[in-house]
Amino acid sequence: VLLSRLRLFLSPGYPYEEILRTFHNQTSIIMCSYLPVFTSFNRTKGGLIQLNHGRPQPLQYVVNAAFLATLYSDYLDAADTPGWYCGPNFYSTDKLREFARTQIDYILGKNPRKMSYIVGFGNHYPKHVHHRGASIPKTKVKYNCKGGWKWRDTSKPNPNILVGAMVAGPDRHDGFHDVRSNYNYTEPTLAGNAGLVAALVALSGDKSIPIDKNTLFSAVPPMFPTPPP
């Protein structure tokens, strides 16, 4: 996606153009695969895309895809490009933002279980998060790694609410088990939560606030010396 940005905004020309076109085309194909009209990835009955093909901990992949889709949409808009082609069909950039919004909405609670997978958001969210700091009571007693297991295996809700943390997510049937010992459902990860923050930031605001066309790639050196004036 970043290389597509370089091609769209700076047009470095030969010899970069050929390789950048290749990456740009690959990115376009990936963006096509996110759309519901294609069958590259299955979706749950509730609408969550299965980017890891039904394996556990799906949300970390979903939020990063939502971020990239929104970012790519912004890049196309900033380059005055209304959309892109998937085969013979043309799709507007709004389709990418729509994909991102539906996935984030699912995570925030618009799903068959009416459950928010963000701890502390809404009234129905995971209470047994697989997280050492959230599950061990603050009693000024120090525990070693093995000493924390008794807190991991208790059925009591976390004594400390890990506000804002996104857990690993539901299974491919939209099912979720709020069990601390089953990290495939209840573990928050840096990879997932970084993607969540990025997606939420990308989806905030509206088109009246344009993307920042900064000089991120201005240091790309020319292949040949600049000719004299």
Torsion of CA 26, 30, 32, 37, to 10 degrees: 140
Q: Is 124 a catalytic residue?
A: no
Q: Is 125 exposed, middle or buried (0-12, 13-18, 19+ CB in 10 A)?
A: buried
Q: Which residue has the tokens 């790519």?
A: 72
Q: Is 187 a catalytic residue?
A: yes
Residue 200: phi and psi, rounded to 5, are -65, -40
Cis check: omega of the bond before 225, within 30 degrees of 0 = no
Q: How far apart are CA 80 and CA 74, in angstroms?
A: 10
Q: Which of 24, 128, 130, 131 is catalytic?
A: 130
Give SS3 for 25: helix
Q: How far apart are CA 1 and CA 92, in angstroms?
A: 17
Active site residues: 130, 178, 187
